[in-house]
Structure 1
Amino acid sequence: MNNPLSKLINAGIVNWTGDLPNKVNTIVAQTNRYLIDFNQATTETKRRGLLTQMFGASLDQETMVTPPFRTDFGPHIFLGKNVFINRDCFFVDLGGVYIEDNALIGPRTMLISVGHREDPAHRRDLVLQSVHIKQGAWLGANVTVLPGVTIGEDAIVGAGAVVTKDVPANTVVAGVPAKVLRTIQH
């Protein structure tokens, strides 16, 4: 998919005015068609082809996204090698979602790269901050990662956590908000 909006990745505050809503909505409409087909496809080959079209890049042979899967935009999702994304995940990716090699994403995980301004007069404006899941990280079921957060290499995020701040490499975090419980010993 041709993506004229790649400059929005991690762009910070973006005014939701002018032709931006129409440009975004055009891509969203195409992504929604891909998602309908992806979530109803009966073969892995068909699903992989649809994800390649939606993301605008081919998937590593060992990377797997299990249906149902949802995203609100699509082209700003970047997946490494041997990534596993479990069922019923939802990515808000206009600000960019990066998942590095060997990461595991549990079912019903939400990765959110878009927020809004606090000022009610400007609340429709977007605050775009990319989410980074580093190599070997493991997110348990029903985790929510908020805009601008990086999950460090080989970190583990416990089920149900809401991650509001960066997670150091080689740590286990859990809770709402997520807090470091311990360091992983190798």
Structure 2
Amino acid sequence: MPKFFAHPNALVETDQLGEGTRVWAFAHVLSGAKIGDNCNIGDHAFVEGGAVIGNNVTVKNNVCVWDGVRLEDDTFIGPNVAFTNDRYARSPRMETVRTRYEKADNWLERTIVCRGATLGANSTIMPGLTLGEFSFVAAGSVVTKDVSPYVLVAGNPAHPIGSVCECGKRTQSPGDRCTDCD
């Protein structure tokens, strides 16, 4: 008996799904994807075979987690977050770029969302970035550069506007604890 839950209308092709993880309706998890324990994969999410998702991760509805994306433990990925993994995307069928797509090393840029980070709804994450521990990306932001730990970014392009506690509340400086967590 499986130690995870997959909605009857979900398509789970991987055998690397952690205990207590839930995959909801119309989500599709490809073979080779690695998903840890106690995760929640929302409706209409898509997880590609080269994606890695840690423990206690929430991936809300309509999120695509592509090859090369790693979500570390305790991350929150809001609805409609858009990850990218190819900075110069073209159709691999196009004759002039076909050879570039013969090896992933020629085009795939890896993205790391570090432990405890939050990505707000409808944010876009450009490829090849690292979003630091407990960083916070405001809804609708377009992230084009690495984000430091405990930093809150917003806008297009996203830029630092403050810092946050591990609980997500605003603080004076990165790494500070809010009054609720002292």
TM bracket (short chain): 0.5 to 0.7
Question: Which residue, out of 100, 108, 128, partners 2:80?
Answer: 108
Could you tell me whether the CA contact under 8 Å between 1:92 and 1:114 is conserved in 2? no
Question: Which residue, out of 31, 46, 50, partners 1:70?
Answer: 46
Deviation for aligned residue 1:78: 0.3
Measured in 1, the distance between the counterparts of 2:21 and 2:115 equals 25
Secondary structure of residue in 2 paired with 1:148: coil
Q: Spell out, residue by residue over 1:139-178, the C-alpha distance to the aligned partner (whole angstroms, 9 max, x if none).
A: 0000110111111100000000110100010000010010
Deviation for aligned residue 1:83: 0.3
- Alignment correspondent of 2:59: 85
Number of matched pairs = 141
Measured in 1, the distance between the counterparts of 2:21 and 2:152 equals 35
Question: Which residue, out of 95, 106, 122, partners 1:142?
Answer: 122
Unaligned runs of 5+ in 1: 1-36
Question: Which residue, out of 84, 99, 112, partners 2:71?
Answer: 99
Measured in 1, the distance between the counterparts of 2:75 and 2:143 equals 16
**Alignment TM-score, normalising by the size of structure 1:** 0.65
Q: 1:173 and 2:153 equivalent?
A: yes
Measured in 1, the distance between the counterparts of 2:21 and 2:120 equals 27
Unaligned runs of 5+ in 2: 1-8, 13-19, 102-106, 165-170, 172-176, 178-182
- Alignment correspondent of 2:5: none
Q: Which has the higher contact order (CA 8 A, sep 6+)?
A: 1
Change (3 A) 1:136 1:39: same
Secondary structure of residue in 1 paired with 2:34: coil
CA RMSD of superposed structures (Å)? 3.1
Q: 1:59 and 2:36 equivalent?
A: yes
- Alignment correspondent of 2:112: 132
